[in-house]
Amino acid sequence: MKQMGKKGLLLVFTGNGKGKTTAALGMAFRALGHGQRVAVIQFIKGSWKYGELESAKCFPGRLDFHVMGRGFTWNSDNMDKDIALARQAWTFARTTIAEGKHDLVILDELTYLISYAMIDEDEILAGLAARPESMHVVVTGRGAGKGLIAAADLVTEMREIKHPYHDGVKAQKGIEY
């Protein structure tokens, strides 16, 4: 039987269904349970008080959480400012990856930087390919492009079948944020 080697994986959670960030955060808690260091970089989420930010305080020195955006870009009042923030966040993410201090890096909603043409997909793919050999990276967001899907070791598509929003139920603490 062939011995399977350890390799840092690139995982992509995409699709229109809910659960992409939730799945990534589940992986973060799994890694933390094994004593690993985790960085979460959120590219779009802004000033909302997310429950995960409070939970991150329980893991000082092992879970680094960075909210880098101004909020939901599709409601932007200043797309130029959003693009500048996205570029700063990507530079920060590349630096975080290159430093190699984390076992797992989650790039939450990174796909939007590509689909909104804020950063070229080839630039992002080059940054992901340059990660340390043993580092796992999770990318989340709707509309993952063909290049990102091809580069990934694992791709899961979340497909919406039913959502309470369509029945007038707004986002709720502990479920959406």
* Closest CA relative to residue 65, chosen from 98, 86, 92: 92
pLDDT at residue number 79: 79
85 assigned to some structural domain:
yes
Identified catalytic residue from 13, 14, 20, 121: 20
Residue with structure tokens 């009042």? Answer: 77
How much of the chain, in percent, has pLDDT values that exceed 90? 65
Active site residue 109: yes
Active site residue 30: yes
Examine the pLDDT at 48 and tell me if it is beyond 70.
no
Q: How confident is the model at residue 4 (pLDDT cuts 50, 70, 90)?
A: low
| Chain segment 133-163, per-residue pLDDT in tens | 999 999 999 999 999 999 999 999 999 999 8
82 assigned to some structural domain:
yes
The beta-carbon contacts of 23-26 under 8 Å, at least 24 apart in sequence, are: 23/140, 23/156, 23/158, 24/106, 24/108, 24/138, 24/140, 25/52, 25/106
pLDDT at residue number 46: 63
173 assigned to some structural domain:
no
Examine the pLDDT at 75 and tell me if it is beyond 70.
no
2 assigned to some structural domain:
no
Active site residue 48: no
The domain tally of the chain equals: 1
**pTM of the entire structure?**
0.90
Domain that holds residue 46: 10-159
| CA–CA gap between residue 157 and residue 160 (Å, rounded) | 10
CATH code: domain of residue 43: 3.40.50.300
Active site residue 16: yes
65 assigned to some structural domain:
yes
pLDDT at residue number 1: 45
* Window from 61-70, 99-108, 146-155 with minimum mean pLDDT: 61-70
- Token pair of 106, please? 């989650």
122 assigned to some structural domain:
yes
Identified catalytic residue from 74, 146, 159, 173: 74
